[in-house]
Amino acid sequence: MLRFLIAGLLLILYLLISIPFLGVEWIVGLINRRAADISQLRFVQAGFRIVLWIAGTRVTYIGNENLPKKGEAVLYTANHRGIFDIVAAYAHMPDLTGFISKDSIAKVPVLRLLMKRLHCLFLNRKNNKQGMQTILKSIEYMEKGISIFIFPEGTRNKNPDNTALLMFHNGSFKAAQKIGCPVIPVAITNADACFERQFPRLKPAHVIVHFGKPVLYEDLPEEGKKHIGDYFQGVVRGMLTEDAALV
């Protein structure tokens, strides 16, 4: 419980500190927008690494050679089991990356502002029209060289079997289909052991974040193009099965 209270206090302090920091970054952005964006990214990543340390979370990253080079936009598609999926993954992003999050997060004023500054988008899962607008906005970001990280399951998977995935929605892959960007499948193992399994306590855990080889839509088999969600669900499931023995 003490870890949870410390992490919560850190989050509050972090949000308070970020207010004047955002102001400074806005001024820097008038001169060099990318420099301001990268500075903001590193600021958040530092905060996430502190949270991981407080929680006692040890993260093993596999497939670093598959991460994109500077300025290359990719679509990260990962399984989703808990809040530490985001913390562990975002702390390791090499370049500008926006996460697609549920729209309820946007109700937190300072957090909403900070996430928008980091090119994050908010998805309304109950309104198909608004959902498509979010996907189109993500395509616009990627055309500017900003990667997008999405959880194709659409919600947190609570199945105790880590390899049992929810359906991967085909709409999550629209960017890859439209602009031909590489898709990097991401398998995250044991992230729910940090928090969700014993809510509201934080517990030390070993998390695996596995970045698969980039895949181009044009290189998929015809069946994979028709059922792209099923294809990448199978890829991620295979990675999770492979990593199960490592935790």
Question: Which of 212, 127, 229 shows the shortest CA–CA distance to 174?
Answer: 229
Predicted TM-score (pTM) of the model is: 0.92
Averaged confidence pLDDT in the chain: 88
Q: Look at residue 233 and tell me whether its pLDDT is greater than 90.
A: yes
Q: What pLDDT sits at residue 13?
A: 76
Beta bridge partners, 165, equal: none
- Distances in whole angstroms, Cα of residue 154 to Cα of each of 73, 183, 226: 22, 17, 20
The yes-or-no verdict on residue 30 having pLDDT over 90 is no
Whether 211 has a pLDDT exceeding 90, the answer reads: yes
| Beta-strand pair 205-211/183-189 | antiparallel
DSSP state of 124: -
Give me the sheet containing 147-150, strands edge to edge. 57-62, 205-211, 183-189, 75-78, 147-150, 97-102, 121-123
User: What structural domains does the chain harbor?
Assistant: 2-246 (3.40.1130)
> What pLDDT was estimated at residue 134?
86
Q: What is the pLDDT of residues 46-104, one digit of tens each?
A: 889 999 999 999 999 999 999 998 889 999 999 999 999 999 999 999 999 999 987 77
17 compared with 242, residue with greater pLDDT: 242
Identity at 40, one-letter amino acid code = Q
Vertex 175 angle, CA 107 and 156, to 5°: 45
Condensed to tens digits (0 to 9), the pLDDT of residues 107-134 reads: 776 677 778 888 888 887 777 777 778 8
